[in-house]
Amino acid sequence: MQGIKRKLVYVTLYEVIATAIITLILLMMGHAVLDAGVASGMTSAIAVSWNLAWNSLFESWEARQPKRGRNIKRRIMHALGFEFGLLAILVPVMAWWLEISLWHAFVLDMGLLIFFVFYTFVFSLAFDKIFGLPLSAQPVMVEPRA
């Protein structure tokens, strides 16, 4: 599976699991069911948009690299880039919706970030094992000279 279909399956599976986790965490922190549900929905919508943009940017960069494949270093770069970009977007949104200070939203998002860096890494690894690497990470086939 490649291209936009791959990206849509990736993002959908990722966000369904992430939304469930975020909702549970907010409920355990004492936020009302409605607040937790809407915050999770907003977070998911923002994350889906960012995920599609980030993966497109990352794969574009990845396709220009002389060495193909996804080693641990590249997977860590991918996960951290996604999570820190999302952090910059979500702090003000969470502060506004949950009516908490920017500092509290930052602390909340940092806790989520720590969890989701690992989640993104493991999810991407499992996704690639199940669905195969995207073309941008596959080795370039060189035809033998005659």
Q: Is the pLDDT of residue 95 over 70?
A: yes
123-136 core/surface letters (b: 16 or more CB in 10 A; e: else): bbeebeeeeebbeb
- Tens digit of pLDDT for each residue in 15-67? 888 888 878 887 888 888 888 778 888 888 898 889 889 989 998 998 898 88
State pTM to two decimals.
0.62
For range 141-146, the mean pLDDT: 69
